[in-house]
A and B are shown apart, each in its own frame.
Chain A
Amino acid sequence: MATIAADVLPRDASPGRRAVRRLARRGSAVFGLVVVVAFVVVAVGAPWIAPYDPVATSWSAIRKAPSAAHWFGTDELGRDVLSRVVYGARASLLAGVVSVLISLALGVPIGLAAGYIGRWTDGLISRITDAMLATPFLILAIALAAFLGPSLTNAMIAIGISATPIFIRLTRAQVLAVKVEDFVEAARAVGNPHWRIALRHVLPNVVPPLIVQATLAIAAAVIAEASLSFLGLGQQPPAPSWGSMLNTAKNYLEQAPWMATWPGLSIFLLVLSFNLLGDGLRDALDPRHA
């Protein structure tokens, strides 16, 4: 038996390493990861990558079709579309990551409290979560952005709050499943305080599904930010964002179709990559699912 086990499981196979290995075997997940990393590089290195200033207007280059000088063409104010797409990656990635961090920061502690404490705390939190889930994601984000005022920061807060109930539910469900396990019972029996059991013994077991959900939530948040910007409730002009670029492009479809192509393609590619990565992570972190 011992030899068979040694064959099947290399000695260094910690759960984390096994997950990485499983992830690496999935071509689509690797593709997703590579594209996400590429977008991060573009966003961080925007000042060096973008050929022009993204907000510099030029009256002599209004709505010029793609050319050697302007690969993606120019917009209605003569700004270089490629440079704006490059800088737009910043708004999208920032919005995707920050809003999900907000949801995690709010959702995980609340879900942990609901699941661990139970009783009326759970009842109250669950009802509030139901109420938030009953309001469609974008409608809630629109309402919050409307009352907070339109800006990228407020869009991120609005998206973060709107996505919180999913994380509360997920954390709560995981905690409920874990807290009846023998090792938690054992930790309690040796006299650990509640906060220690919750943080040291319960929380780590909730992490893998949270990573998966967070990756997929980033995809949703990128679309949500683009949607809010498209509606004029996100990044404000002249700062570049893919959503607001599409909002402007809509008015020039006949004269300058290239204005609509690239920002949309960028959103699609980034969202697709996060979705592929999320699906891959789910298979890698949850052996039952594979």
Chain B
Amino acid sequence: MLTFLGRRIATIVPTLLFVSMLVFGLQQLLPGDPAMVLAGEERDPTVIAHLRAKLHLDEPLPVRYLYWLGGVLQGDLGESLRMQKPVTALIAEKLPVTIQLATMAIVVALAIGIPAGVLSAVAKGSVWDYAANAIALWGLSTPNFWLGIMLILLFSVSLGWLPASGYVSPFVDLKANLASMVMPAFVLGNAIAAVLMRHTRSAMLQVLSSDYVRTARAKGLDERVVVTKHALRNALVPIITLGALEFGTLLSGAVLTEQVFTIPGFGKLIIDAVFNRDYAVVQGVVLFTATAYIVLNLLADVAYVLVNPRMRG
């Protein structure tokens, strides 16, 4: 297990290094003198001079990268020019909101995707299977920001049941918080539910045709026990690994969902930064997201080994 962990961690180091180069390289896409562009519209000479020194713009590119990387490794992602705050502080401030949204969305996705996948695999070829597949295709083809708008139209504008926007912290008013997060969580969870359903269906179909399931059935076990205890438990293994890959979809979706429902989270942070030309924040968010994605996939791989004794070796 330890050697496996060591080897797996060793493979993510070069990936992280390339991600950092990619993010650093983004800056080179800016036309003209980066200090001028980064200084914003005021073009304050003191700010420009400060930036030039801080970004080591007089040094060659590889040296600048090393300076930047050195800062990043010490947790310094630069400073937001617009908000006069370190990027790490901004991320720490907005992250909990997005984590709540993402967690609720995952619950929605699991609650819809797994039962629907199991049902369509068990009743393969039936009306249920057909309906579940049709709904999955619908989920994959609906842009989630449009779904959000349509839900606002129905539940906020027409019925007046839920607020269209206005995030409330759970520490201030839990009920109002949940009311403001229900629709966003459903919108975000919906697309992932579709993917999970497809993964669950194919994993279940494979497991259901295996020998041990046939044995369990031959023993005369109740079909419900066979499906939930014998089949689903084993099918969950690939679902975990494939599910972890959906973390990227979750984050991309969160950007759009937060924009639709005006939720002050991570996604709103990057979009506001884009329009404020707050490039350090954009870079910081991209770097953080990619690192989080890589680490979460590492954890999924570890979980995979933990639940699958044959892989422990």
What are 25 A-B contacts defined by CB distance under 8 Å? A128-B18, A130-B18, A134-B15, A134-B19, A134-B293, A134-B294, A135-B19, A135-B293, A136-B247, A136-B249, A136-B251, A137-B248, A137-B252, A138-B253, A143-B286, A144-B26, A146-B273, A146-B279, A147-B30, A148-B29, A223-B143, A230-B256, A249-B149, A261-B150, A264-B149
Query: Cβ of B275: which chain A residues have Cβ within 8 Å of it?
Result: 232
Confirm or deny: A178 has a beta carbon within 8 angstroms of a beta carbon on chain B: no
Task: Assess the B255–A144 pair: CB atoms within 8 A.
Answer: no
**List of 9 A-B pairs having minimum Cβ-Cβ separation, nearest first:** A138-B252, A131-B18, A264-B146, A136-B248, A272-B141, A146-B274, A147-B29, A135-B290, A271-B141
- Select one of A250, A254, A276 contacting B137, CB under 8 A: A276
Hey, what's the 0/1 contact readout for B270-287 against A, CB within 8 Å counting as 1? 110111000100110110
Please determine whether B256 and A231 come into contact, CB atoms closer than 8 angstroms. yes
Shortest distance between the CB of A197 and any CB in chain B (Å): 30
CB distance from B202 to the nearest CB of A (A): 12
Per DSSP, are chain A's interface residues mostly helix, strand or loop, or mixed? helix
Given A136-B248, A272-B141, 16 other A-B residues pairs in contact with their CB atoms under 8 A? A131-B19, A131-B21, A131-B22, A134-B297, A135-B289, A136-B251, A136-B289, A138-B255, A139-B285, A142-B282, A146-B282, A227-B143, A230-B143, A231-B271, A264-B143, A272-B138
Cβ-based interface call for B83 (8 A): no
Considering only residues 242-266 of chain A, those with a C-beta below 8 Å from chain B are 246, 249-250, 253-254, 257, 260-261, 263-264
Cβ of A71 within 8 Å of any chain B Cβ, yes or no, is: no
Tell me the complex Cα distance, A148–B26, Å: 9
Contact A246 B149 (CB under 8 A): yes
Are A127 and B15 also in contact (CB < 8 A) when A139-B251, A142-B271, A276-B137 are?
Answer: yes
0 or 1 for each of A271-286: is its CB under 8 Å from B? (1 = yes): 1100110000000000
Instruction: Say if the beta carbon of A226 comes within 8 Å of chain B.
Output: yes
Distance of A193 from chain B, by nearest CB (Å): 32
A258 CB → nearest B CB, Å: 10
Whether a CB of chain A sits under 8 angstroms from the CB of B152 is yes
| B-facing residues in A122-165 (Cβ within 8 Å) | 127-128, 130-132, 134-140, 142-148
Task: List the interface of chain B (C-beta within 8 A of A).
Answer: 14-16, 18-19, 21-23, 26-27, 29-30, 137-138, 140-143, 145-146, 149-150, 152-153, 156-157, 164, 247-249, 251-253, 255-256, 259-260, 270-271, 273-275, 279, 282-283, 285-286, 289-290, 293-294, 297
Our pick among B26, B137, B145, B251 for the contact of A143 (Cβ within 8 Å) is B26
Which residues from 95 to 147 on chain A have a C-beta closer than 8 Å to any C-beta of chain B?
127-128, 130-132, 134-140, 142-147
A46 on the B face (CB < 8 A): no
Q: Assuming A147-B29, A264-B146, is B137 touching A272 (CB within 8 A)? A: yes
- B149 contacts A268, C-beta separation under 8 Å: no
- B247: chain A residues at CB < 8 Å are 136
Contacts of B29 in A (CB 8 A): 144, 147-148
| Residue among B150, B271, B274 making CB contact with A264, cutoff 8 Å | B150
A198: chain B residues at CB < 8 Å are: none
Which residues of A have CB within 8 Å of B289?
A: 135-136, 139
| A166 interfacial contact with B, CB 8 Å | no
Closest to B141 in A: A272
Give residues 181-223 of A contacting B (CB, 8 Å): 219, 223
Per the bound structure, the CA–CA distance linking A226 and B256 in Å amounts to: 11
Q: Is A233 engaged at the interface, CB distance under 8 Å to the other chain?
A: yes
Whether A271 contacts B143 by the Cβ 8 Å rule is yes
Interface centre among A145, A231, A268 (most CB of B within 10 A): A231
A230 touches B164 (CB 8 A): no
Chain A residues within an 8 Å CB radius of B259: 230-231
Q: Is the CB of A136 within 8 A of B15?
A: no
Q: Are B26 and A147 in contact (CB under 8 A)?
A: yes
B26 to chain A: closest residue by CB: A147
Q: How many angstroms between the C-alpha atoms of A233 and B282 in the bound complex?
A: 14
